[in-house]
Amino acid sequence: MTTTRTALDRLTIAGLAMVAVLPFLAISPAKAAPACATEAAAVRSIAATADPKAAAKALRNVRTAELICAEGNAAEARRKLAVARQQLDASVQLADRR
């Protein structure tokens, strides 16, 4: 009986340790980096045809997003890329109104 209880205790501890590590594995920077890179490339390609002033602002945000993503904060990097897209979209809308 003591052998079974000891084995069960060790398995429980190992299981709890694995569960504690799972959230950190899900948000690792290595998995976020390729997604950030593709989004940044998409915004850069849009910026190539946009108004130069709006493109400069957007590219600053893209560079910032890449640095943030390299640090491991993919959520904040996505926000910065969304701001960059909005800056480019605003310039296109203004051009359509003229």
Q: Give the pair of three-digit tokens for residue 71.
A: 């640090």
Provide mean pLDDT across the span 27-32.
54
32 contacts: CB under 8 Å, gap ≥ 6: 69, 72, 74, 77
How sure is the predictor about 92, in pLDDT bands with cuts at 50, 70 and 90? very low
Interval 48-87: pLDDT, tens: 888 889 899 999 999 999 999 888 888 899 999 999 999 9
Q: Give the pair of three-digit tokens for residue 16.
A: 């709890």
7 contacts: CB under 8 Å, gap ≥ 6: none
Domains of the chain, by residue range, sit at 28-97
Q: What is the DSSP string of 52-91?
A: HHHHHHHHHHHHHHHHHHHHT-HHHHHHHHHHHHHHHHHH
Provide mean pLDDT across the span 90-96.
50
